[in-house]
Amino acid sequence: MVPIQMVDLKRQYTKIKSQVNAAIEEVLESSAFINGGAVQQFTGELQTYLGAKHVIPCANGTDALQIAMMALGLEPGDEVITPSFTFIATAEVIALLQLKPVFVDIDPQTYCLDIAAVEKAITPKTKAIVPVHLYGHVADMEPLMAVAAKHQLYVIEDNAQAIGADYTFQDGSKKKAGTIGHIGCTSFFPSKNLGCYGDGGALFTNDDELAAKIRMVANHGQSARYYHDVVGCNSRLDSVQAAVLRIKLPLLDEYIAARRAVANAYDAAFAGIPQITTPYRAANSYHVFHQYTLQLHDADRNELQQYLASKGVPAMIYYPVPAHRQKMFEHFGGAAFNLPVTDNLTSKVISLPIHTEMDPDQLELIIQSVKSFLNNPPT
Ligand SMILES: *Cc1c(COP(=O)(O)O)cnc(C)c1O
């Protein structure tokens, strides 16, 4: 059996090797390493795929979030509502810009922002909300946008984990995750659902004025060549990464289907096991399973992780410490936030391998290993 990995990037690459190598060679031959044709082409193709008016590429997902907040003109002391149950980047850039992260609890089923809790956390200083489409499940955007409109707040979607996911509105219409808020942000980190072979990221917006500001901020605050109107940063997707992404974007829906097939197999195998809660799928969210994350009850998570490792099955805890309990937020009084759902889930979640290259025998080993641990827990 091929060794099991959380994400098998090597075997995915092997299948597209000749195309990828040719595309990279083309960039090398053109030597247009920055802002080359591949960047322009990929940007247009992603715009079409997402149905977004503007896609602005940048250097990584963390930069995308930072650029979004800078482009919206958020100022020191402004409050930004965000979940604590997320990768640290979401909250980190808020603090980096001297904004105040206001951590709000999550829905215990979807692991995404609890909309009622968001509304309760709004103060006169609140300027923006950053929902995270965690593990590939889209936050409940329709009621969230209604709350934001009522209080005149910006919404920045952290879509690093849910590119390609659809959200369905009450009227039956659909939009891609990341294109519903004022700005959407994503990451092309290699292990993301649409990953490149280095760092990369992008912002999406349907607002022309915002798009212009985002472009300016991402390019040294430049309005015309060597005229700099605002303090910005330097954040670019390079041509080699764009060339790789151009090969992978047409495969994204296939990749999502492969991930969902793995998730369906896990769901079926673990149904009815009392120690396991399988991931919830809200009817309005087409889950793209960046992660397949279980809740484990009445069983020791670390022991399961060790047991699985002994069988050659990796498993990860995303994330062992929620943002509000990180040392970096001690001086914000992070731990004072009362987030019982977040704290409870943090102690229970464990993610199993999920990727586009899973073999049936690998899947079987993972499932049987989890089951045998639960049937004969170590004493
Ligand atoms: C990966 C990730 C990011 C950051 O992306 P980078 O490209 O690594 O900077 C931000 N938010 C979430 C939820 C992520 O998963």
C-alpha span between 309 and 84 (Å, rounded): 28
Nearest CA to ligand 1 atom 3: 61
Per DSSP, the residues of 4-71 read: P-SS-HHHHHHHHHHHHHHHHHHHHHHT--BS-HHHHHHHHHHHHHHT-SEEEEES-HHHHHHHHHHH
Instruction: Supply the pLDDT for residue 334.
Output: 84
Gap from CA of 227 to ligand 1 centroid (Å)? 31
State how far the alpha carbon of 212 is from the alpha carbons of 47, 62, 63, 244, in Å.
16, 20, 17, 26
Task: Quote the ligand 1 centre to 255 CA distance (angstroms).
Answer: 19
Residue 148 burial (CB count, 10 A): 23
> pLDDT digits over 201-221, tens only?
999 999 999 999 999 999 999
Task: Please give the domain boundaries of the chain with CATH numbers for all domains.
Answer: 9-250 (3.40.640.10), 251-375 (3.90.1150.10)
Q: Closest ligand 1 atom, CA of 199?
A: 7
CA of 134, closest atom in ligand 1: 13
pLDDT at 335: 86
> Residue 288 C-alpha to ligand 1 middle, in angstroms?
16
What number does the ligand 1 atom closest to the CA of 86 have? Answer: 13
Residue nearest to ligand 1 atom 6, measured at CA = 61
Active site residue 120: no
pLDDT digits (tens, 9 = 90+) for 146-160: 999 999 999 999 999
Paired sense of beta strands 183-187 and 174-176, if any:
unpaired
Token reading at 72: 């919206």
Ligand 1 centre distance from Cα of residue 195 (Å): 11
How far separated are the first and last CA of the chain, in Å rounded? 30
Altogether, the residues listed in the chain come to a count of: 379
Mutation to probe ligand 1, out of 58, 65, 69, 87 (largest number of atoms < 8 A from CB): 87
Q: What is the pLDDT of residue 62?
A: 98
Task: Give pLDDT, residue 145.
Answer: 98
pLDDT the model gives residue 379: 64
Structure tokens at 348: 């229970």
Q: Measured in angstroms, how far is the CA atom of residue 86 from the centroid of ligand 1?
A: 9
Taking CA atoms only, the protein residue closest to ligand 1 atom 2 is 160
Best mutation site among 58, 94, 134, 189 for ligand 1, i.e. most ligand atoms within 8 A of its Cβ? 189
Other Cβ atoms closer than 10 A to 233: 15
Residue stretches of the chain with pLDDT short of 70: 379
Q: Which atom of ligand 1 lies closest to the CA of 161?
A: 15
So what's the pLDDT on residue 222?
Answer: 96
Which of 175, 192, 213, 248 does the annotation list as catalytic?
A: 192
Query: Which amino acids bring their CB within 6 angstroms of ligand 1?
Result: 60-62, 86-87, 89-90, 132, 158, 160-161, 187, 189, 199, 201
> How many angstroms separate the alpha carbon of residue 262 from the centre of ligand 1?
23
**From the alpha carbon of 132, which atom of ligand 1 is closest?**
13
- Please give the Cα distance from 106 to 74 (Å, whole number): 24
The structure tokens listed for 166 are 């659809």
CA nearest to 34, candidates 219, 208, 186, 250: 219
**What is the secondary structure of 87-150 as a DSSP string?**
-THHHHHHHHTT-EEEEE-B-TTT-SB-HHHHHHH--TTEEEE--B-GGGPPP-HHHHHHHHHH
Q: What is the pLDDT of residue 327?
A: 96
Q: Which pLDDT belongs to residue 377?
A: 74
In this structure, what DSSP letter does residue 231 have? -
Residue 268: C-alpha distances to residues 142, 276, 372 (Å): 30, 12, 16
